[in-house]
């Protein structure tokens, strides 16, 4: 039961991270190795704001805003000039990830930090005791994902995003500007990852290297879900999310083995089913 | 892509020849200079920093034979380095009777095995997939050190690795070279700690010459051309009869083995292993070195390593106390510098790396031509 309830929450929060990662890849063809850093920036910005005695809600907004700002800056300053050089983008975004890591280390030190819970107290769901702030995180994440999916599938803006993802040249022909769409998607993706960071901050642990696991998990999700498939991303998030909690609860020292299992999933998928669960054909 | 690949081969060949012939003498001057350097430099701290840089030359060169040549860009080279280092450290910890050289060999083997283990699933991967896969494997290895905390020490690492001076071969070899360069009397008059620094220095230098020399022979020979052709255009290379799988995997394994060797030797020189040998920081540092030195030339990253590592481990510490108190700022500054270089001069300062790695344009052209070529 623990696994089911907490797995659902973890699935929702990492889906937030993975959605942005997947969208940015689908739209701009950009693999952003600094995507996990947005998660970290969200968490640390909210932490800094709450340390400065701001109300938690304000801190949360600051966290998301900081991540979005980072996304915009990353796109305008770093990615835009080298957009079409795949490996240069990879190297530059990894450099950004390390830059952010060393910045966080410099300003906050290497010690573990934690944000106070958004709501106090605990609840019991299906016999599982849960901190209310965890439940809130899961619900918030779920609502956000539903909204994002609705926007993507039902709104003109979403149609534009999907158009660029499907065929950039055709999208240009009908008047869509791919650079603009990439910028918006990157900003929103960063915001989503930042939101995940904020939501997890009260029960997760904040360290300067916390960006790597979400990035790895987002990669696993995108690989598993199949490239460019939004449904696949959501489905794979559930798989990885439950796996995350399953390992954490049922394996000895599970907490530190999550990354290992994630990497195993990545390698196994690459060997056995490179197109992913729902993907059609590998490129 | 195809048209550049078509005329790339002959020009790459002629360049390799042109490069090799006149510069052999020049190239040999570098190790000779380093060999006699300790005679004139009394500063042992600087010598220590040079030893570390010499090790990094091997890291960078081994990265290059995989990433710069075949274009399978590894973002997790630290995985191989760390594996070699930790294997050596484990021997010191649990089987101190085993000689240093045997432990080193074991480190090479384990790293090579990891190369196979990563290389096989990565055979079909390119660009972002390969980047993320290699990055995450290195990340997973860090976690393994926490899972087997008792054996591998978690964040503390393993101390008390048997050092080069205890080696049955490396010890006498290093001491012999020290006596040769410094004179037996001068060397004998040094404190034991200083003697250790000199021995490490010469062993690292000798190992570097062997590894880099070997990789250069390979890289500038016929096999190097084949490796390059894979990067240029896999389909064309395969059509021309290159056994792709074998070459790609061989590059992976060779790169891993050399990195494991250098990592193991590094452990024996430092006397400790820790998480920095597996970290993303290290993987990125190697890419930074290659970016500044120019990938796909072996010698470029090798020279880049001296510049970057001496800056990191010696000159920055003396430039400002900030870097002593906050060592994380060093890698941060390098990362920032790398980003700026990539943006301001995507093909300017580091044309070889970007041209080769992005698979656009011909790496074998002269730098001037590469500059004007549009992507």
For residue range B133-147, list pLDDT tens digits in order: 888 888 889 888 888
Backbone angles phi, psi at A116, to 5 degrees: -65, 155
Compute φ and ψ for A113, nearest 5 degrees. -120, 165
Spell out the domain ranges in chain B. Answer: 2-278
Among the partner-chain residues A102, A209, A266, the one whose CB lies closest to the CB of B332 is: A102
Chain A contact probe: residue of B130, B231, B331, B339 with most A CBs at under 10 A = B339
pLDDT-derived band at B371, boundaries 50, 70, 90: very low
Residue of chain B with shortest Cα separation from A25: B128
Kindly state whether residue A274 falls inside one of the protein's structural domains.
no
pLDDT at B20 over 80: no
In chain B, the N- to C-terminal Cα span, in Å, equals 10
Q: Nearest by CB to A260, which of B124, B144, B338?
A: B144
In angstroms, what separates the C-alpha of A125 from chain B's closest C-alpha? 31
CB contact under 8 A, B343 and A81: yes
> Is A26 part of a structural domain of the chain?
yes
Q: Give the SS3 label for residue A274.
A: coil
- Label residue B362 by pLDDT band (50, 70, 90): very low
Residue of A nearest to B148 (CA): A253
A232 inside domain: no
Size of interface A-B (CB pairs under 8 A): 147
Is residue A16 in some structural domain? Answer: yes
* pLDDT band per the 50, 70, 90 thresholds, residue B367: very low
Nearest to B139 among A96, A223, A259 (CB): A259
> Which of chain B's residues have a Cβ under 8 Å away from the Cβ of A74?
none
Q: Are the beta carbons of B342 and A92 separated by less than 8 Å?
A: yes
Mutate to test the interface with B, among A80, A84, A94, A109 (most CBs of B within 10 A): A94
Higher local confidence (pLDDT), B336 or B165: B336
Q: What is the mean pLDDT of residues B230-258?
A: 86
CA distance B208 to chain A (A): 26
C-alpha B190/C-alpha B180 separation (Å) is 14
Give the DSSP per-residue string, B226-251.
HHHHHHH-HHHHHHTT--HHHHHHHH
Using CB atoms, which residue from A78, A81, A94 is nearest to B75?
Answer: A94
Mean residue pLDDT of chain B comes to 81
Minimum mean pLDDT range among B151-155, B259-263, B329-333, B343-347: B343-347
Percent of chain B with pLDDT over 70: 85
Query: What are the chain A neighbours of B129 within 8 Å (beta carbons)?
Result: 223, 270
Q: Which pLDDT value is given to residue A225?
A: 84
ipTM associated with this complex = 0.84
Spatial separation of the C-alpha atoms in residues B309 and B99, rounded to whole Å = 30
User: What average pLDDT does this structure show over B186-201?
Assistant: 89
Set of chain A residues whose Cβ sits within 8 Å of the Cβ of B120: 271
pLDDT score recorded for residue B372 = 33
Is A249 contained in some domain?
Answer: no
Question: Which two structure tokens, joined as six digits, stand for B183?
Answer: 């004179």
Name the residue with higher pLDDT: B371 or A251.
A251
Residues of chain A contacting residue B354, judged by C-beta atoms under 8 Å apart: 85, 87-88
Between A97 and B317, residue with greater pLDDT = A97
Instruction: Name the more confident of A127 and B152.
Output: B152
Whether residues B326 and A98 touch (CB distance < 8 A) is answered with no
User: Domain for residue A141, yes or no?
Assistant: yes
In a domain, A269, yes or no: no
Residue B206's pLDDT is 93
Q: Which residues of A touch B122 (CB under 8 A)?
A: 270
Q: Which residue has the tokens 């083997």?
A: B109
Q: How far apart are CA B136 and CA B63, in angstroms?
A: 17
Name the packing angle between helices A212-225 and A230-250 (round to 10°). 130
Asked whether residue A199 is assigned to any structural domain, the reply reads: yes
Does the structure show a pLDDT above 80 at B38?
A: yes
Q: What is the mean pLDDT of residues B196-203?
A: 92
CA–CA min distance B143, chain A (Å): 6
Please give the pLDDT value at position A114.
Answer: 83
Give contacts of B332 with chain A, Cβ < 8 Å: 98-99, 101-103, 106
Q: What's the CA gap between A207 and A196, in Å, rounded?
A: 15
Between vectors from CA A115 to CA A112 and to CA A121, what angle results, nearest 5°?
A: 125
Number of domains chain A is built from: 1
> What does each of the 283 residues of chain A score in pLDDT, given as a tens digit?
777 888 888 889 999 999 989 888 888 788 899 999 999 999 999 999 988 888 888 999 999 999 999 999 999 998 888 887 788 889 899 999 999 999 999 999 878 888 887 777 777 777 777 778 888 888 989 999 999 888 888 888 888 888 888 777 788 887 778 788 889 899 999 999 999 999 998 888 899 989 988 998 898 898 888 776 788 888 889 988 888 888 888 777 767 778 888 888 888 887 777 666 665 544 3
- pLDDT tier at B182, thresholds 50, 70, 90: confident
**What are the φ/ψ torsions at residue A167 (nearest 5 degrees)?**
-155, 100
B359/A95 touch (CB, cutoff 8 Å), yes or no: no
Question: Which residue of A25, A85, A95 is in closest CB contact with B335?
Answer: A95
CB contact under 8 A, A90 and B131: yes
Inter-chain touch B140–A263, beta carbons under 8 Å: yes
**Residues spanned by the domain of A171:** 2-208
Q: Which of B79, B123, B280 to mutate to test the interface with A (most CBs of A within 10 A)?
A: B280
Which residue from A13, A283, A11, A27 is spatially nearest to A152, judged by alpha carbons? A27
CA dihedral B234, B239, B240, B244 (to 10 degrees): 50
Reported as type and span, the H/E element at residue A131 is strand A128-131
Residue in this structure with the two tokens 């190790």, named with its chain if needed? B31
Cα separation, B184 vs A117, whole angstroms = 68
Q: SS3 breakdown of chain B: % helix, strand, coil, rounded to 5? A: 80, 0, 20
Instruction: Kindly list the residues from chain A whose CB atom is less than 8 angstroms away from the CB atom of residue B75.
Output: 33, 90, 94
């Amino acid at each position: 039961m623990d696994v089911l309830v907490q797995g659902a929450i973890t699935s929702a929060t990492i889906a937030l991270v993975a959605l942005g990662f997947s969208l940015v890849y689908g739209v701009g063809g950009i693999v952003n190795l600094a995507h996990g850093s947005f998660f970290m920036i969200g968490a640390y910005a909210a932490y800094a704001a709450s340390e400065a005695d701001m109300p938690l809600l304000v801190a949360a907004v600051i966290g998301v805003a900081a991540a979005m700002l980072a996304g915009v800056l990353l796109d305008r300053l770093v990615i835009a000039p080298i957009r079409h050089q795949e490996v240069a983008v990879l190297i530059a975004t990894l450099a950004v990830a390390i830059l952010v890591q060393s910045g966080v280390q410099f300003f906050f030190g290497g010690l573990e930090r934690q944000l106070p819970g958004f709501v106090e107290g605990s609840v019991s769901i299906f016999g599982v005791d849960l901190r209310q702030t965890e439940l809130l995180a899961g619900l918030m994440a779920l609502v956000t994902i539903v909204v994002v999916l609705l926007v993507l599938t039902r709104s003109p803006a979403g149609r534009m995003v999907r158009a660029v993802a499907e065929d950039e040249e055709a999208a240009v022909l009908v008047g869509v500007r791919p650079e603009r769409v990439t910028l918006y998607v990157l900003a929103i993706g960063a915001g989503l990852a930042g939101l995940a960071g904020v939501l997890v901050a009260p029960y997760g642990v904040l360290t300067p290297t916390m960006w790597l696991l979400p990035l790895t998990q987002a990669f696993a999700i995108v690989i598993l879900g199949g490239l460019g498939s939004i449904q696949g991303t959501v489905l794979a998030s559930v798989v990885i999310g439950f796996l995350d909690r399953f390992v954490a609860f049922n394996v000895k020292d599970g907490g530190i083995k999550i990354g290992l299992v994630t990497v195993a999933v990545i390698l196994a998928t690459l060997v056995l089913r490179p197109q992913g669960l729902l993907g059609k054909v590998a490129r | 892509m195809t048209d550049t690949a078509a005329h790339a081969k002959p020009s790459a060949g002629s360049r390799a020849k042109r490069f090799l012939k006149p510069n052999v003498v020049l190239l040999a001057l570098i190790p000779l200079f380093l060999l006699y350097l300790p005679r004139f430099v009394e500063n042992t701290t600087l010598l220590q920093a040079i030893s570390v840089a010499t090790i990094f030359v091997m890291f960078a060169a081994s990265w290059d034979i995989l990433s710069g040549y075949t274009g399978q860009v590894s973002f997790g080279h630290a995985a191989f380095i760390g594996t070699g280092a930790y294997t050596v450290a484990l021997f010191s910890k649990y089987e101190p009777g085993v000689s240093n050289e045997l432990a080193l060999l074991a480190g090479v083997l384990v790293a090579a095995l990891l190369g196979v283990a990563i290389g096989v699933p990565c055979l079909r991967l390119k660009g972002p997939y390969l980047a993320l896969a290699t990055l995450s494997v290195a990340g997973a290895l860090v976690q393994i050190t926490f899972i087997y905390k008792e054996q591998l020490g978690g964040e503390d690492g393993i101390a008390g690795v048997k050092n080069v001076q205890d080696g049955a071969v490396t010890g006498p070899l290093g001491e012999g070279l020290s006596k040769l360069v410094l004179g037996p009397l001068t060397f004998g008059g040094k404190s034991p700690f200083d003697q250790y620094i000199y021995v490490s220095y010469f062993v690292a230098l000798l190992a570097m010459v062997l590894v880099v020399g070997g990789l250069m022979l390979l890289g500038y020979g016929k096999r190097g051309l084949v490796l390059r052709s894979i990067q240029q255009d896999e389909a064309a290379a395969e059509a021309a009869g290159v056994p792709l799988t074998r070459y790609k995997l061989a590059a992976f394994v060779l790169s891993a083995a050399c990195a494991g060797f250098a990592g193991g030797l590094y452990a024996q020189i430092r006397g400790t292993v820790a998480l920095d040998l597996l970290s993303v920081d290290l993987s990125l540092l190697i890419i930074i070195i290659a970016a500044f030195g120019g990938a796909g030339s072996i010698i470029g990253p090798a020279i880049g390593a001296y510049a970057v590592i001496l800056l990191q481990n010696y000159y920055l510490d003396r430039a400002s106390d900030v870097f002593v108190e906050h060592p994380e700022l060093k890698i941060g500054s390098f990362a920032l510098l790398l980003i700026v270089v990539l943006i301001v001069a995507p093909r300017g300062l580091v044309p070889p790396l970007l041209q080769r790695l992005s698979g656009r344009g011909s790496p074998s052209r002269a730098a001037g031509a590469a500059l004007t070529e549009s992507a």
